[in-house]
Amino acid sequence: MTGIDAAAADAHPWWKHGVIYQIYPRSFQDSDGDGVGDLRGIRARLGHLEWLGIDAVWISPFYPSPMVDFGYDVTDHRGVDPRFGTLDDFDALVEDAHARGIRVILDYIPNHTSDQHPWFRESRRSRDDPRRDWYIWRDPAPDGGPPNNWLSAFGGSAWTLDEATGQYYLHSFLREQPDLNWRNPAVEAEMLEVIRFWMERGADGVRVDAVQKVIKDEALRDDPPNPDYHPGVDDPYDAQLRILSGDRPEVHDVIARMRRLTDAYPDRVLIGEIYNAIERLMAYYGHDGAGCHFPYNFQLIKLPWDARTIDEAVRGYESLLPPGAWPNWVLGNHDRHRVASRVGPAQARVAAMLLFTLRGTPTLYYGDEIGMRDVPIPPELVQDPWEKNLPGQGLGRDPERTPMQWDASPSAGFTTGEPWLPVAEDFARVNVAAQREDPASLLTLHRRLIALRQAEPALALGRWAPVDAEGAVLAYLREGEESRFLVALNLGEAPARLAGDWAGEVAISTHGEREGEAVRGTLELRGAEGVVVRLRA
């Protein structure tokens, strides 16, 4: 936070100017040779994160779990799965991370548990078990089918019949992930305590999984059909507008209570995971500081890599943000194809510059800093239940979850055992150790972009203003009290230019060697080049 003085730091908490790095713990670093990453492994790799300059890690779930959805099916929200370590390992990780100035954000999964969770095992025992109402049970429809048309995100109906008790239970995701009934105050009270538990243990915030799902229509009315759905092309999950199976107005009251609890601890952050239209997303900021600090903004993941499309998206997002709402941007995560595979290696450099120069908190997915690509997974090695349910449709998430590539040693330095997913074939070349030594590498570019952002309040916290550009060029200004920057990105492979009366010097280029070069008048860009220009005052 070198460039941001103490007064600014007070007005702008760390989660505004900080860079978040997502760790998928199964795949980051294994410390015990079982082929699955763990908390000790993360701790051993904190040096990389500190060197890179990130401010916080968000760690995907490490709680006890049968791992049907790799940790998003929890059997104890207050523990650590033995595959990942122990609570002592968690404490040691937090202590070491904090000593390095790195905050620790956890995944909080309120919508569902594992079907092996003791609550659900009790709940399914009988219709009048005291835990019955902790989950969402309904009688079959008159024809014996599911109570309504809601769909599971991973394929098929969101309802599964429990033969023994003759009722269906709701699962917005896998049938092994039954939805909790947040309309039951006992459920809410117990689940809010989970946030308190981890905050007391030193967590700096939570990323709230699938938060819009937490409250569903009380009358369980059918979701309406989606008029824009293309059968055979789109994910069958998108056949309906999911406006009754989730995203209900009352969810904001629940989030307000999560937020109140978060705010009871200094300097913590509440981030919502919400895949929805931008207009709908904005509601999750809440009113008067009662919502998420920010709902994740996944536009860069979803949109085609096209300058005009992204320009329009950035302008639209900036214009829709409610007063005082802080923006954020995400390029990749454990649910979507890797950015280097989506846009290619040359544009991955441009994408990094975009992520670290837009206004708002950037979240970087592990391995994207070295350009890891989706790894093709042979059918016999498929792990992800989504791929198993709907094979061959490109929905599986294993390709973007493969082991981190640390060095050229066997299994890329990830494990001494057999890795749970195959390591990318290019690991001998695409790895942290090799790229650290290379001033032209993508890793070095990430480090330099993060350093520039952290040194320049205009980039970390300043205003954003659009710049009109044409063709493959995307351009905008970032402005602070003391400095102004022009960011110009060429999303095409041919040389391009940004007309204007620009005056300044190149602060950083995706192509390296231009730094310090004077800029006068029109700005020339090489193919797939992005530059940040420090404008003359």
Nearer to ligand NOJ, 393 or 409 (CB): 393
Considering the complex, what minimum distance in angstroms separates the CB of residue 269 from ligand NOJ? 17
Binding of residue 400 to ligand NOJ (CB under 6 A): no
Q: Can you tell me the distance from the alpha carbon of 352 to that of 455, in angstroms, rounded to the nearest whole number?
A: 17
Nearest residue to 302 via CA among 238, 383, 244? 238
Supply the residues annotated as catalytic: 209, 273
What minimum distance in Å lies between the beta carbon of 335 and ligand NOJ?
A: 5
Which are the contacts of 290, defined by CB distance < 8 A and separation ≥ 6? 252, 255, 256, 259, 260
Site string for ligand NOJ, 259-278 (x = CB under 6 A): --------------x-----
214 secondary structure, DSSP code: S
Q: Encode burial over 26-60: b for 16+ CB neighbours within 10 A, e otherwise.
A: bbbbbbeebbbbbbbbbbbbbebbeebbbbbbbbb
- Nearest Cα neighbor of 22 from 51, 61, 70, 72 is 61
Q: CB of residue 55 vs ligand NOJ: minimum separation in angstroms?
A: 21
Q: Based on CB atoms, which residue is closest to ligand NOJ, 14 or 72?
A: 72
Q: Count residues near ligand NOJ (CB under 6 A).
A: 9
* DSSP letter string, 126-144: -TT-TTGGGB-EEPPPTTS
Q: Which C-beta is closer to ligand NOJ: that of 58 or that of 137?
A: 58
What burial class does residue 230 get, using C-beta atoms within 10 Å of its C-beta: 0-12 exposed, 13-18 middle, 19+ buried? exposed
Question: Which residue of 168, 173, 298, 464 would you call a contact of ligand NOJ, by CB under 6 A?
Answer: 173
Pick one of 335, 374, 398, 400: the residue that binds ligand NOJ (CB under 6 A). Answer: 335
How many C-beta atoms lie closer than 10 Å to residue 382's C-beta? Answer: 15
In the bound state with ligand NOJ, the residue whose beta carbon lies nearer, of 175 and 334, is 334
Query: Would you say 476 and 327 are in contact if contact means Cβ atoms under 8 Å apart?
Result: no
Rank residues 400 and 529 by Cβ distance to ligand NOJ and give the closer one. Answer: 400
The amino acid present at 388, given as its one-letter code, is: K
Binding pattern for the stretch 220-259 against ligand NOJ, x by CB under 6 A and - elsewhere: ----------------------------------------
CB nearer ligand NOJ, residue 204 or residue 273: 273
C-beta of 377: minimal distance to ligand NOJ in Å? Answer: 16
Of 55, 23, 58, the closest CA to residue 460 belongs to 55
**209 lies in the site for ligand NOJ, by CB under 6 A:** yes
Interface pattern 492-521 for ligand NOJ (x via CB under 6 A):
------------------------------
Residues of this chain, 37-66, that bind ligand NOJ according to CB under 6 A: none
Residues 6+ apart with CB under 8 A from 365: 22, 330, 331, 332, 333, 334, 338, 339, 400
CA dihedral 329, 334, 337, 340 (to 10 degrees): 70
Q: How far is CA 161 from CA 136, 156, 215, in A?
A: 12, 13, 21
Per-residue contact string for residues 68-87; x = within reach of ligand NOJ by CB under 6 A: -x--x---------------
Instruction: Please report whether residue 210 would count as binding ligand NOJ according to CB under 6 A.
Output: yes
Q: Smallest distance, Å, CB 76 to ligand NOJ?
A: 16
Nearer to ligand NOJ, 55 or 69 (CB): 69
Q: How far is the CB of 477 from ligand NOJ (least distance, A)?
A: 34
Which residues ranging from 102 to 141 are in contact with ligand NOJ (CB under 6 A)?
A: 109
The one-character DSSP state at 19 is -
* Residue of 71, 152, 153, 156 lying closest to 116 (CA atoms): 71
**Nearest residue to ligand NOJ, scored by beta-carbon proximity:** 72
**Residue 22 to residues 93, 107, 438: CA-CA distances in angstroms?**
15, 10, 24
Burial of 110 (0-12, 13-18, 19+ CB in 10 A): buried
Find out whether 502 and 523 touch, Cβ atoms under 8 Å. Answer: yes
Q: What share of the chain is helix, strand, coil (3-state, %, to 5)?
A: 30, 20, 50
**Closer of 173 and 329 to ligand NOJ (Cβ):** 173
The CB-of-273 to ligand NOJ minimum distance in angstroms stands at 6
Binding site for ligand NOJ (CB under 6 A): 69, 72, 109, 173, 209-210, 273, 334-335
